[in-house]
Structure 1
Amino acid sequence: MKPTLFLCVSFLTFISTFAFAQAPDTAWVRHYHRGSWEAPYSVQQTSDDGFIMVGPSHLLNDSYVEILLLKTDHNGDSLWAKVVGNNQNFYPNSVKEDPNGGYVIAGEKQYGSSPRKAFLLKTDENGDSLWTQFYGSTRGSIANDVTCTADSGYVMTGWRNISGSGDNVFIHKLDANGDSVWLKIYNRGGDETGNCIIQTSDGGFIIGGETDYHTHGRTDFYLLKTDSLGDTLWTRIYGRSDDDRCSSVKQTSDGGYILCGTSDTTGYTSSLAVKTDSNGAVMWQIVFDRGTGGDFIRSVQQTSDGGYIFGGSSINPYQKQDFCFIRTDDQGNILWIKTIDGLNSERAFCVLQTSDLGYILVGEYQYPAPRYWDFC
């Protein structure tokens, strides 16, 4: 039976008036509803100009969490939705369109008291499952992100606990069938997590994440550059005196990198963006803090003019979260900020500039009944 969806996606139309600091208009908002909780953690524009989204889905009377994969057209109207779970707990964190057809989903599987396992799921172009591979250690492993590589394979990052003393960043290179090509684990002590990965223009990889290696209790942004075989070229740490957690990294047109994530103190959250050169040296950094005590910027993309679009959520005067877009120039100077508020809270996870030069932000929307969260 096809699930009924009520997900919420906000789409902004592009207005070429940045010199006047005018934010774009909202073109449409979509909601997709299936059960009592859905959260789209990942979105990508597809080759047909539509969108593919993935996140966990939990029905009110079920004891397990499933994968919800949703395909829309360019207007955000649902084309199909597929649910995968087999009565086990699957938490998907990332989806990518495979250039060779279909989609790949990475995340974690939980079952009873067994250690968590990273998984990679391949589907066809209609979202039907082709194969699933599981990866892990006796102490647990999760995959936070997956990227399709130039050799028609895949690469994942996340964390893996191999000694019981802490979580370690890993890069796992896989072939087109999800079979292991090589696995690199980076163990420097303490807890370190890879949250996002991309293949760089030189064929290597860049990982953004978080580490408490230097502080042992307080986290910092973590940036790891490797060659094509996963061997470390350099590691960089960035942060303030707060808990800084990098959730998004992109390579920029000048060969450098842009990172963003949250920066937490007790009861107060702002957000941090760091621009680096190709060797990870800081070129500039900015703090997003609107003074509300809650600015959660979780995603960044370089825009067609060389600037940046950041997406996330911001606390409003009623102490609820609203969708928030922040547009900057190439030096991090803010051009405009736009919030989209609803009757309840909206938490955003991923932002994109679209092929028509608009912007899309996806997240979850809280119904008046506090137990219900939907794709938004």
Structure 2
Amino acid sequence: MKTVSVSMALMFTLLFITSFADNSSNIDIRGKKLSVFVEMEKNSFSLINFEKNTWSKTLGKFLFPDLGNDVEQTRDGGYIIAGMTILPLSLEVGGWLIKLNENGIKEWDRVFRNIDNLIGVEVLSDGYVVAGNGKKGDIEIIKMDEMGNVVWNKSFGGKYLDIIKSCGCIKRTENGCIILVTSWSFSNNKGADLWLIKIDENGNEEWNRTYGKAKEADIGYQVIESNDEGYIIVGQSFNLSAPEYGLIMKVDENGNEKWSIRTGYSIFSVESAGNSSYIATGSKWIKENIDYALLLLKFNEKGEIKWIKMFGSKDSDDAGYFIIHADGGSYIICGNSDYRGDNNIWLLKIDENGNEKWSKIYGKRGWDMGRCIKQTYDGGYIIVGETTQFPWMFFPYRLNLWIIKTDENGEVSLLKSFLRNQSET
């Protein structure tokens, strides 16, 4: 009787803290020692499957939003996360850097008061470099050691507002980093330009280039190294004649533009596909359904589009936000699917020709968003974003940072299975 009471109390507590939906597997954990470990510390919830090392974790505070923008696996097998938090006493927004171990348990965190939001993080041989949006309208690039202590801090900015939009806007290179900035002008018929900055390992600028047109706002989302030592940039452009269209640009190793193309759809992320080609993802408006579909397109080194494919369903707004290499020439897209107001994380695996291999949805009622995904050392995936916490209908802006570790097939331990088996004890 006592065991049943304890189990029921645990079930109620878990249901109150969070819910996790993934109907793709049916795990029986009875009789498996330490197969599932539930950790509840202040302002966080974890569910861990030690057999496959998959888990789901939320981090944050009651009532105040906390966001995750980027994640990288560290050299010790843990994870480093860049995001945003609000300090509860001062209500001050700050950039948030969190170090987790391999099971998602927090080891340490740092809050940067000179930054509104940490957008990107890269792992170095001796620490980390992070990029964020500073409180004075500039971008901040910070080098830290492996314990999060600041080594140097560099600011880059112009007269007006300069921001970094997504985790793909900072990329570690052989001898430094390349940073993609959206630079707002507000004068001389200018809206926003793309600003590419190359820095060395000490944060010193090597060169910078600006790209843009009058009466046009260009937003940068990702920069990657091209197959010939240059760079590929993707983003969006806005003007009066075409309210929104995608932008793909190729520049050489010194940032000089070689070509650019505009498309009739949004592009948020790009990945090298070998054989001098690339695969990008984004979204496209389907006029007849009045919905957005997740978009995939393949283009070559000259900017020639080879194919376009779309994924989605009627009555849902779908988009792909980040794409990475997977095993055997496959690719993983982290996106979202908004069905009648409930936004969920969508993980899609495709082959080299854009054909679907499998698809997973993570989330519940309310808002769940995946902003970045990386492959882990064990062949699985790590996703970071945010989720609304229970009861979302009373506190719709109560967002917590959400990080999910999956196996190679996108599977995660089921909270539903854990609760079901505990209730049968």
8 Å contact kept, 1:8–1:362: no
How far has the Cα of 1:344 moved from its partner? 3.9
Asked if residue 357 in structure 1 is aligned to residue 379 in structure 2, the reply is yes
Asked if residue 28 in structure 1 is aligned to residue 66 in structure 2, the reply is no
8 Å contact kept, 2:46–2:104: no
The corresponding residue for 1:73 is 101
Q: Which moved more, 1:269-278 or 1:220-229?
A: 269-278
Q: Go from structure 1 to structure 2 and tell me whether the alpha carbon gap of 1:143 and 1:323 turns closer, same or farther (over 3 Å shift).
A: closer
Q: Go from structure 1 to structure 2 and tell me whether the alpha carbon gap of 1:375 and 1:256 turns closer, same or farther (over 3 Å shift).
A: same
SS at match of 2:329: coil
Q: Go from structure 1 to structure 2 and tell me whether the alpha carbon gap of 1:34 and 1:102 turns closer, same or farther (over 3 Å shift).
A: farther
How far has the Cα of 1:76 moved from its partner? 2.3
Asked if residue 366 in structure 1 is aligned to residue 388 in structure 2, the reply is yes
Superposed CA deviations along residues 177-224 of structure 1, whole A, max 9, x for unmatched, are 2122111001223111211112234221111111136x6442222111
Q: Go from structure 1 to structure 2 and tell me whether the alpha carbon gap of 1:227 and 1:160 turns closer, same or farther (over 3 Å shift).
A: same
* Number of aligned residues: 348
SS at match of 1:222: strand
How far has the Cα of 1:263 moved from its partner? 3.4
AA partner of residue 105 (structure 2): D
Gapped regions of structure 1 (runs ≥ 5): 15-25
How far has the Cα of 1:250 moved from its partner? 1.5
Distance 1:357 1:268 in 2: 34
AA partner of residue 368 (structure 2): E
Match of 1:275 among 295, 298, 304: 298
8 Å contact kept, 1:141–1:158: yes
Who wins on radius of gyration, i.e. which is larger? 2
SS at match of 1:31: strand
AA partner of residue 205 (structure 1): Y
Query: Pairwise mapping of residues 259-274 of structure 1 onto structure 2 (< 5 A)?
Result: 259-264=280-285, 268-274=291-297
Distance 2:329 2:48 in 1: 23
Query: Pairwise mapping of residues 5-154 of structure 1 onto structure 2 (< 5 A)?
Result: 6=44, 27-34=54-61, 36-85=64-113, 88-98=114-124, 100-111=125-136, 116-144=137-165, 145-151=169-175, 153-154=176-177
Query: Pairwise mapping of residues 213-228 of structure 1 onto structure 2 (< 5 A)?
Result: 216-228=241-253
Distance 1:187 1:217 in 2: 15
Superposed CA deviations along residues 70-93 of structure 1, whole A, max 9, x for unmatched, are 1222332222221111xx452221
8 Å contact kept, 1:352–1:359: yes
The structure with the largest helix share of the pair is 2
How far has the Cα of 1:265 moved from its partner? 7.5
Q: Go from structure 1 to structure 2 and tell me whether the alpha carbon gap of 1:212 and 1:182 turns closer, same or farther (over 3 Å shift).
A: same
How far has the Cα of 1:238 moved from its partner? 2.3
Query: Pairwise mapping of residues 298-337 of structure 1 onto structure 2 (< 5 A)?
Result: 298-316=321-339, 319-337=341-359
Distance 1:306 1:226 in 2: 26
The corresponding residue for 2:194 is 169
Distance 1:366 1:94 in 2: 22
SS at match of 2:44: coil
8 Å contact kept, 1:328–1:335: yes
How far has the Cα of 1:5 moved from its partner? 5.5
AA partner of residue 278 (structure 2): Y
AA partner of residue 236 (structure 2): E
Quote the sequence identity (%): 24
Superposed CA deviations along residues 93-116 of structure 1, whole A, max 9, x for unmatched, are 111112x321111121124xxxx1
8 Å contact kept, 1:193–1:209: yes
TM-score (norm 1): 0.84
Q: Go from structure 1 to structure 2 and tell me whether the alpha carbon gap of 1:45 and 1:279 turns closer, same or farther (over 3 Å shift).
A: farther
Superposed CA deviations along residues 308-360 of structure 1, whole A, max 9, x for unmatched, are 1111221246x312221111111111122111233543111112232222222
The corresponding residue for 1:205 is 231
SS at match of 1:305: helix
Distance 1:370 1:348 in 2: 18
Distance 2:252 2:134 in 1: 29
8 Å contact kept, 2:95–2:132: no
C-alpha RMSD over aligned residues? 2.6
Q: Go from structure 1 to structure 2 and tell me whether the alpha carbon gap of 1:133 and 1:8 turns closer, same or farther (over 3 Å shift).
A: farther
Q: Go from structure 1 to structure 2 and tell me whether the alpha carbon gap of 1:327 and 1:228 turns closer, same or farther (over 3 Å shift).
A: same
Superposed CA deviations along residues 12-69 of structure 1, whole A, max 9, x for unmatched, are x99xxxxxxxxxxx93211122461111111122233322211111135534311111
TM-score (norm 2): 0.75
